[in-house]
Amino acid sequence: MKITILGAGAWGTALAITLAKRHEVLLWGRNAEAMQAAATTRENTAYLRGFALPPTLQVSADFDAAVGHVCAEPEASLLIVASSVAGLRALSEQLSAYPIPNLVWLCKGLEEQTRLLPHQIVREVMGNNLAAGALSGPSFAQEVAQGLPCALTIASTDDALCERVVEAVHGGNIRIYSSDDLIGVEIGGAVKNILAIATGAADGLKLGLNARAALITRGLAEISRLGVALGGRAETFMGLSGVGDLILTCTGDLSRNRRVGLGLAQNKKLDTIVAELGHVAEGVRCAQAVRALAQELKVDMPITNAVAAALFDGGSVQEMVAQLLSREAREENR
Ligand SMILES: NC(=O)c1ccc[n+]([C@@H]2O[C@H](COP(=O)([O-])OP(=O)(O)OC[C@H]3O[C@@H](n4cnc5c(N)ncnc54)[C@H](O)[C@@H]3O)[C@@H](O)[C@H]2O)c1
Ligand SMILES: O=P(O)(O)OC[C@H](O)CO
C-alpha cells in the first residue's frame, strides 16, 4: 500500500518508521531544511533523535509530491495527517485542492479558538463526504519506533476506511481495533492530556500513589461525563482511547503532558516548561477550550477546571490540590 504521512513530528516519524517495513511510505515535513537533513542523515534529529529512518522510507518537503504519492492509486493508499491539532485546519485547507481518497489524523485535542474536535475541523473544511477517521489510543512514539507492542483504535463511521487502516497498520506488534464512535474516541484522546498534567503535578508534589489513582479515576469520570454530553458512548471511555490512553499518559514519564505537571510542581513557569519540551503538549493548548465547553454544557469537570486555573489564571498547583480536596462530599456515580 502507498502511505503518505503529513507531519514529521515525533509521532508521524515513529509511525513512518514502523509502516515503512511493510508499505511504500513517504514522510512529509514542512521544514525543507530539516527534511533535507533527515533524508541525508536518515534520522529526524529535531523530533525523534536516535531512531534510524529505514532506507525505503521516502522523506520530502514537497507537498504536491507527497499528496500525489497517494492520490494516484486511491484504491491502495492511505493519507495520514500527523500534525498537532493546531496544524490540522491549515493542512485540511491545503488538501482541499486534491482528490483525497481517504484521510486519517493522529492529533488529540480541541482547536483552541473554535473548541472543535479534529473530525469537526476536517468536516468544516473538507465536507462530509470524505472517508475519514481518527487513529488514537495509548501510544508513545519512542516505544512504537522501537517496535514494542501497541494497540490503537481507528474511529470512523466509514467501514471501508476502518478496513483500510486495519490493512495498513494492523500486524507485527501493532493491533488495531475499530469503533464508529468518533466523538467518544476524540474526547478521550483530548481530555486525558489535561488529566496527565494534573497527575504529573500531584506526583511532582509527592502526594503519593493513592492520590494518583484517585485523580485517574475521577479524571475518567470527567472524560465520560463530557463525552456522553457531546454524544459519545459511555463504553468508549472504557476502551483504548479512554481509560487506556489515560493510564498511559498519566503514569508514563515519556508523556509531554505529564511532564508539564511535573514542571509546574517545581514552580517552573509554563513558558519555560513548554520551551524545554520542544514538542506539543496538547493538554496545555486545549485546557481552556475544554473548561469553556464543560461550562457551556453544564458538565462538572473539577480537575480540568483546576488545571486550567493553574495554567492560565495565575493559580499554583498547590492551590489546585487544595481546591480539589476542599470540595464537598458527593455520591460517586452521579
Ligand atoms: N508523540 C506521541 O507519542 C503521540 C502519540 C499519539 C498521538 N500524538 C498526537 O499526535 C499529534 C502530533 O504529536 P507529535 O508528538 O508528533 O508532536 P511534535 O511536537 O513532535 O510534532 C508536531 C508536528 O506537527 C507539525 N505541525 C504543527 N503545525 C503544523 C502545520 N500548520 N502544518 C504542518 N505541520 C504542522 C510540526 O511541524 C511537527 O512536525 C499531537 O496531537 C499528539 O497529541 C502524539
Ligand atoms: O506525550 P503526550 O502527553 O502528548 O502523550 C502522547 C500520546 O498521546 C500517548 O498516547
Instruction: State pLDDT tens for residues 278-298.
Output: 999 999 999 999 999 999 999
Q: Is residue 14 within 8 Å of 48, Cβ to Cβ?
A: yes
Quick one: average pLDDT of 317-323?
94
Taking CA atoms only, the protein residue closest to ligand 1 atom 12 is 84
Does the annotation flag 280 for ligand binding? Answer: yes
Say if ligand 2 is within 6 A of residue 108 CB: yes
Q: Which pLDDT belongs to residue 323?
A: 92
Does the annotation flag 256 for ligand binding? Answer: yes
Q: Which pLDDT belongs to residue 307?
A: 97
Does the annotation flag 317 for ligand binding? Answer: no
Q: Which pLDDT belongs to residue 74?
A: 85
The pLDDT tens digits of the residues spanning 171-193 come to 999 999 999 999 999 999 999 99
Quick one: average pLDDT of 222-242?
98
Residue 150 gets which letter from DSSP? E
Mutate which of 148, 191, 192, 245 to test ligand 2's pocket (most atoms within 8 Å of Cβ)?
245
> How far away, in angstroms, is 249 Cα from ligand 2 center?
6
Q: Which pLDDT belongs to residue 125?
A: 97
Please report where in the chains the cell 523530533 appears, as a residue: 47
Residue 157 gets which letter from DSSP? S
> How far away, in angstroms, is 139 Cα from ligand 2 center?
7
Does the annotation flag 269 for ligand binding? Answer: no
| Closest atom of ligand 1 relative to the 47 alpha carbon | 20
Q: Which pLDDT belongs to residue 72?
A: 87
Alpha-carbon span 288 to 292, nearest angstrom: 6
Alpha-carbon span 287 to 318, nearest angstrom: 18
Taking CA atoms only, the protein residue closest to ligand 1 atom 22 is 9
> How far away, in angstroms, is 164 Cα from ligand 1 center?
23
The pLDDT tens digits of the residues spanning 87-144 come to 999 999 999 999 998 999 999 999 999 999 999 999 999 999 999 999 999 999 999 9
Residue 133 gets which letter from DSSP? E
Overall pTM surpassing 0.90 (yes/no): yes
Say if ligand 2 is within 6 A of residue 196 CB: yes
| Closest atom of ligand 1 relative to the 256 alpha carbon | 1
The pLDDT tens digits of the residues spanning 254-264 come to 999 999 999 99
Alpha-carbon span 317 to 151, nearest angstrom: 33
Alpha-carbon span 102 to 165, nearest angstrom: 10
Taking CA atoms only, the protein residue closest to ligand 1 atom 41 is 107
- Name the band, by pLDDT with cuts 50, 70 and 90, for residue 13: very high
Say if ligand 2 is within 6 A of residue 248 CB: yes
Q: Which pLDDT belongs to residue 192?
A: 98
Catalytically annotated residues: 192
Q: Which pLDDT belongs to residue 334?
A: 75
Quick one: average pLDDT of 217-226?
98
Residue 304: pLDDT above 80? yes
Please report where in the chains the cell 504529573 appears, as a residue: 200
Report the amino acid identity of residue 12: G
Taking CA atoms only, the protein residue closest to ligand 2 atom 4 is 256
Does the annotation flag 155 for ligand binding? Answer: no
Q: Which pLDDT belongs to residue 101?
A: 85
Other beta carbons within 10 Å of 317: 26
> How far away, in angstroms, is 178 Cα from ligand 2 center?
20
- Name the band, by pLDDT with cuts 50, 70 and 90, for residue 81: very high
| Closest atom of ligand 1 relative to the 29 alpha carbon | 39
CA atoms within 13 A on the CB side of 305: 15
Q: Which three cell numbers stand for residue 135?
A: 487513529
The pLDDT tens digits of the residues spanning 148-173 come to 999 999 999 999 999 999 999 999 99
Contacts within 8 Å (CB) and 24+ apart, 99-102: 99/71, 99/74, 100/67, 100/70, 100/71, 100/126, 100/130, 101/70, 101/71, 101/74, 101/75, 101/77, 101/131, 102/74, 102/77, 102/78, 102/130, 102/131, 102/132, 102/158, 102/161, 102/164
> How far away, in angstroms, is 132 Cα from ligand 1 center?
18
Taking CA atoms, 257 is separated from 65, 200, 287, in Å, by: 34, 8, 11
Say if ligand 1 is within 6 A of residue 279 CB: yes
> How far away, in angstroms, is 75 Cα from ligand 2 center?
31
Q: Which pLDDT belongs to residue 7?
A: 98
Mean pLDDT of all residues belonging to the chain: 97
